[in-house]
Amino acid sequence: MTDQTAVIQALPPDDELREVLHNEVHARPSARIRLPALVMLVAVLNEGVSRADEWAHLQQLPGQSGLTLDDLRDNFLRLRFADHTLKWERHSEFTRYVLVQPLPDKVWPDAVKPDLLQGLVLDPAWLRTIPGKTVAAIQLVMVNENIDDPHAALAKGQQWFGGRTVVASMMGNGHSIAVTNFKLQPDGFERILVLAPHDTSPTRAGRISQRLLEMEIYRLMALRGLPVAKQLSPSLAEAEAELADVTARLEAREVSETELLDRLIHVAAGVERATAQHAYRFSATHAYDALVRQRINELREKPIPGTQTMGEFMQRRLSPAIATVAATSQRLASLSQRIERSSALLRTRVDIATENQNHQLLAKLTHGQELQLSLQTTVEGLSIAAISYYMVSLILYVGKALKLAGLPIQPELLAGGMIPVIMFGVWKATQRIHAKLHGQLH
């Protein structure tokens, strides 16, 4: 038994996620790039594109017919060929393909806006048929160049871009220079040029490429929230105006609660639908923007006098867009809260109206019961008189019968004398019945 086995056996059972979480920090290692090199990134939106679709497309590469779907289970794969590598990496919204190959001939230093697709080791047809829709395409050219004189190096880079305005930065406190113009070329790619000394290690070159490429792709993904925010703005303004009108009418008591509730439900439904459709996009924009800022910080830029740094250029143009998205997201959340408060006010008004109606109904019921009781008392009084009348009549007939039988009785006097006794007896009997019924109810 080895020591390693003993250690493993000495541990409690592993959580099912332990190994996955532990290896996450090693899941996407930076490439080792030997200069000069061409690094090309193509990122596509993968909505509606399955992992199997991407696997089938990767199998079309030379020598990759034996690639299995299980090889793509970790969302990361690096394919190594004789003189180049291809990295496949799947994210929640996009998939990126990064090709690293030697720099084609006649690309540096004398070329001006060279055609980089001519020396591509991959078939352009394979790139064109990648599943998904292109969201970012970058050609990163990395060359060895003396950068002791940053202005001279920058002049070469500017000439390589055709002599037009560029932005540039000294990265890593001076270990390399990055130059770009953030513009799409006729071939659909944007270009970045990195000038690095001859002693630049492959590991450092790999980290430089990863930071620059991620900064740009995350910038583009962050900006996907801007068209949504602009499209949503008119409907939000309409909803705010409708809510303000409902609130005003609620305060003025000009419209019934039913009509106000119907309008408020209409506004709330529209806001909730917009929230359900766009909340993820706004949250994603915030997350991507944070990643862009992080990558810019990792570049550790130093300015070259006379030109903007890449971070400064990007922040000045990215910040207003991100602020617009953030304001729209906050506006949507605030509108939802205001609708909730208006609904609470309307519910309070409806509750008060219902309570008043209940009071009126109870008052009517009480008045009806009082009338019923008064009527019942009257009926009971008449009943006592009627019962007494019938009993007195019976006594009168009995007296007349006894008088005919020869007894010395005056029937009228007997009946008249019995009237108080009979009425008292009937009244007492009625009271006993009331007392008995009252005891049963309680």
Residue pair 130/97 in contact (Cβ under 8 Å)? The answer is yes
Each residue's pLDDT tens digit, 109-153 = 888 999 999 889 999 999 999 999 999 999 999 999 999 999 999
Q: pLDDT band for 2, please (50, 70, 90 cuts).
A: very low
* 205-213: average pLDDT: 94
Give how far Cα 254 sits from Cα of 91, 247, 248, 291, 310, Å: 54, 11, 9, 52, 59
CA 410 – CA 399 distance, rounded (Å): 7
- Indicate whether 311 and 353 sit together in one domain: yes
What pLDDT is attached to residue 351? 72
Each residue's pLDDT tens digit, 358-414 = 788 888 887 777 777 677 666 666 677 778 778 878 888 887 888 788 788 887 887
Structural domain harbouring 421 = 375-441
Number of structural domains in the chain:
3
Residue pair 39/33 in contact (Cβ under 8 Å)? The answer is yes
Tell me, yes or no, whether 365 lies in a domain: no
- Indicate whether 254 and 321 sit together in one domain: yes
> Which domain-ending residue is among 168, 187, 219?
219
What pLDDT is attached to residue 111? 87
Each residue's pLDDT tens digit, 216-259 = 999 999 999 999 999 999 999 998 888 888 888 777 777 777 78
Tell me, yes or no, whether 336 lies in a domain: yes
- Indicate whether 230 and 214 sit together in one domain: no
Each residue's pLDDT tens digit, 52-107 = 999 999 999 999 999 999 999 888 999 999 999 999 999 999 999 999 999 998 88
Tell me, yes or no, whether 325 lies in a domain: yes
The answer, yes or no, to whether residue 349 has pLDDT greater than 60, is yes
- Indicate whether 195 and 55 sit together in one domain: yes
Tell me, yes or no, whether 153 lies in a domain: yes
> Which domain-ending residue is among 198, 219, 240?
219
- Indicate whether 37 and 156 sit together in one domain: yes
CA 67 – CA 424 distance, rounded (Å): 113
* 299-310: average pLDDT: 90
- Indicate whether 192 and 68 sit together in one domain: yes
Calculate the average pLDDT of the chain: 86
* 205-209: average pLDDT: 94
What pLDDT is attached to residue 8? 53
Six-digit token string for 201: 């290690």
The answer, yes or no, to whether residue 293 has pLDDT greater than 80, is yes
CA 247 – CA 255 distance, rounded (Å): 11
- Indicate whether 333 and 280 sit together in one domain: yes
User: Within a 13 Å sphere around the CA of 159, how many CA atoms are in the beta-carbon half?
Assistant: 11
Most confident of 179-183, 401-405, 426-430: 179-183
Q: pLDDT band for 13, please (50, 70, 90 cuts).
A: confident
Tell me, yes or no, whether 369 lies in a domain: no
- Choice among 243-257, 264-278, 428-442 with the minimum mean pLDDT: 428-442
- Indicate whether 353 and 380 sit together in one domain: no
Q: Which residue has the higher pLDDT, 48 or 12?
A: 48
Six-digit token string for 22: 């532990």
- Choice among 177-181, 266-270, 366-370 with the minimum mean pLDDT: 366-370
> Which domain-ending residue is among 359, 390, 419?
359
Residue pair 281/250 in contact (Cβ under 8 Å)? The answer is no
**Could you tell me how many residues make up the chain?**
442
